[in-house]
Amino acid sequence: MAGARRRLVETLRERGIRDLAVLRAFDLTPRHLFVPSGVRHHAYEDAPLPIGSGQTISQPSIHARYLELLQLKGTERVLEIGTGSGYQTVLLSHLVAQIFTIERIPALYNQARENIARAGAKNVSMLLGDGTVGWREYSPYDAILVSAGGPTIPQPLIDQLAEGGRMIVPIGGLDQQTLKLVVRRGADVQIEDVAPVRFVPLFGTYGWEQQT
């Protein structure tokens, strides 16, 4: 699959991704191991794919833009909300010092745990639960990535952002959101609109009401 992975990296370059560390992370991460066998032949296309439990793994170019926006240097402690398949978690494992990742669906959490171990990532701590309340025990975080769309920015995540920390979070309706970049500067919180996006819903205490 190394050839297919190289072609994906070329596609990302053509789509404007310039951060060499981000491109290298894509080159090192075997996306075919994170998707169900039925869609494995599409693993290196720049397309979202189903991962079970009604959830999706995002398009690689979306992951890449997310990661570029965080302006990572390699020393960060990062909180990820919505582990999903664990693919983005493993991309992050090549880019930062430590990742704390939270998933609310047990089947995905268990599958992601296997996927992350198989990929050999050692700097990942996982939690099964509601990511909208964050993971206070290990806060503050230099960066927070939210991989599901909520109605408002969860206040606990703002509170758990370090001084100068950056968070990206899709906010809006259930079908369409705006990707927000949140930067914490002392008591000040700067919020910038980045792009229209479409993510699965962020359920939880500070997200959409959970479905029964």
- Binding residues vs ligand SAM (CB under 6 A): 51, 55-58, 81-82, 84-85, 87-88, 102-105, 108, 130-132, 147-148, 199-200, 202-204, 207
Residue of 77, 82, 114, 106 whose CA lies nearest to 92? 77
Is 116 in a helix, a strand, or coil?
A: helix
Of 165 and 207, nearer to ligand SAM (C-beta) is: 207
Residue 93: active-site member: no
**Min CB(150)–ligand SAM separation in Å:** 8
Of 43 and 57, nearer to ligand SAM (C-beta) is: 57
Alpha-carbon gap, residue 60 to 177, rounded angstroms:
18
At residue 88, what is the residue type?
Q
Of 19 and 101, nearer to ligand SAM (C-beta) is: 101
**Min CB(187)–ligand SAM separation in Å:** 27
**Min CB(71)–ligand SAM separation in Å:** 19
Rounded to 5 degrees, φ, ψ at 179 are -75, 125
Question: Up-side HSE of residue 37: CA atoms within 13 Å toward CB?
Answer: 0
**∠ CA(74), CA(80), CA(85), 5° rounding?**
105
**Min CB(97)–ligand SAM separation in Å:** 19
Of 19 and 85, nearer to ligand SAM (C-beta) is: 85
